[in-house]
Amino acid sequence: MNVSYHGHSVVFIDTKGTKIIIDPFITGNGLTDLNADSLEVDIILLTHGHNDHVGDTVQLAKRNDALVVAPFELATYLGWKGVKCHPMHIGGSHTFEFGTVKLTQAFHGSSYTEEDDKRIVYTGMPAGILLTVEGKTIFHAGDTALFSDMKLIGERNTIDLAFLPIGDNFTMGPEDAAVAAEWLQAKRVVPIHYNTFPVIEQDPNEYAEHLSGKKGLALKVGEGIEL
């Protein structure tokens, strides 16, 4: 299984021929190496409804006949747009053919902004994603602040790879994300959600180097890791 990072919070997982993407913000993402017009995906996992996470979901899902897995309100909203969805909610898990998805809490917001109508659509609670595939567990925290139940997530799950936001302002900054990495007890930690906009500029290499036990891994855009 190959897990790769593609700018902002975009993570791509290729497992036994199934292509999974998390938070596919491609169009408008100046840091990504992906092309929404040619990308092949089977499964789309969404943490919350903000535009820089939903991204190209509708286009990708329709063109690839992909399944979207998302929190209930967001799944309902996307279903109204003709997308095939599986709704979930925080604390719930479901086993699919490709693996098991469980949603965790995240402390953030969740809404989709329809700029043409100057309308903000509420899309439920934000979430983190625990994805277990091929006996490995990947944790994508989504957008979140530091919260103490990350200790519980770490105690109850053997996390092989965690993706944690470090951008600050909208999410955890590097200091809080370092605490999160310690509490989650993940074997490897990749920083995400940084440098896309001036207000979230951070040094991912500095963050990774400061994590104890050499667990930090600042993946370059397009770079992957084998699990």
- Residue spans per domain, the chain: 2-219
Segment 59-82, tens digit of pLDDT: 999 999 999 999 999 999 999 999
- The residue among 107, 123, 114 whose CA lies nearest residue 72 is 123
Using the CB atoms, write b or e for 189-207: b if 16+ within 10 Å: bbbbbbbbeeebebebeeb
The rounded distance, in Å, linking the Cα atoms of 132 and 102 is 9
CATH no., domain 2-219:
3.60.15.10
pLDDT digits (tens, 9 = 90+) for 188-201: 999 999 999 999 99
- Largest interatomic CA distance in the chain: 49
For residue 212, the model assigns a pLDDT of: 78
Q: What's phi and psi for 218, nearest 5 deg?
A: -90, 90
Q: Which amino acid is at 68?
A: V
pLDDT in tens, 77-123: 999 999 999 999 999 999 999 999 999 999 999 999 999 999 999 99
Q: What is the pTM of this model?
A: 0.97
